[in-house]
A = this chain, B = another copy of it.
Amino acid sequence: MDLNCDMGESFGRWRLGHDAELLEIVTSANIACGYHAGDPLSITAVVREAVERGVALGAHPSYPDLSGFGRRSMRMAPAEVEAMVLYQIGALDAIVRAAGSRLRHVKPHGALYNDAARDEALARAIASAVARYGDLRLFALPNSALAHAAADAGVPTWREAFCDRAYEDDGSLRSRRLAGALVQDPEAAARQALDVAVHRRVRTYSGATMAMEAETLCVHGDTPGAVDIARSVRTALERAGVRVSAAA
């Protein structure tokens, strides 16, 4: 099981997240590409640290929305989405290659991730960008429009489950605008991680149980308890005998 986290979400004078600590815990890092966060210099710093620690690197492209942190849906034409995803992947990969490594995956950020789970045209645009760049896998919600588009485009996919976000009964993530969207207790997050990794299921917000197959587990990096949650999840997985690694 891979353990991934969003990183590089500082911007200029503003610091966000706990990249240094989290790089000790996770196995894949999704790096902001400048559209919702991440200036070239702060990206460079986190990329170098990730390379040193052997953490696998991925691009975390977003809608162009610094003031909204990429969390607002924007109605963009698919052709423009494809171009902007290529732009962000290439920009990040240049910095990653200069640091002696290369990109392994792409995970859309925020509203782009959520919209691509449902909107087929958007999903195809993203999958096409990743396919054209080549040699990358996509992280996608299981059974989402993005997962299907990736399969159609011949892009390898890792299904992603979340440790610290609540699920609705249809398998979508509970909206951040609703109460109970976040799982903030480290033990609850660890239980959710074990449910996915060992039992191949997840308990939804309503209390139902649904099947959940995933190759990568996400922990968020920008909450106050992020490091505790990540550590709790990793420890629980290892105790349960799950191999935590970004190796396919």
Q: What is A's interface to B at a CB cutoff of 8 Å? A: 9-16, 34, 37, 39-41, 43-44, 64-69, 71-77, 79-80, 83-84, 86-95, 97-98, 111, 129, 132-133, 222
Contacts and interface: CB of A to CB of B under 8 A. Distances in A.
A72 B122 CA distance: 15
Copies of the chain in the assembly? 4
Contacts of A76: 68, 72
A72 B69 contact: no
B34 A97 contact: no
A87 B13 contact: no
Contacts of A40: 80, 83-84, 86-87
A13 B12 contact: no
B93 A41 contact: no
Nearest to A100: B132
A204 B81 CA distance: 33
A133 B94 contact: yes
A41 B80 contact: yes
Given A40-B80, A73-B75, A94 B93 contact: yes
Nearest to A129: B98
Contact of A86 (B14, B16, B79, B94): B94
Contacts of A65: 64, 74
Looking at A9, A39, A88, A129, the one whose CB has the most chain B CB atoms below 10 A away is: A39
A50 to B, nearest CB: 15
A174 B72 CA distance: 25
A69 B34 contact: no
A51 to B, nearest CB: 14
A80 to B, nearest CB: 5
Contacts of A39: 67, 80, 83-84
A89 B94 contact: yes
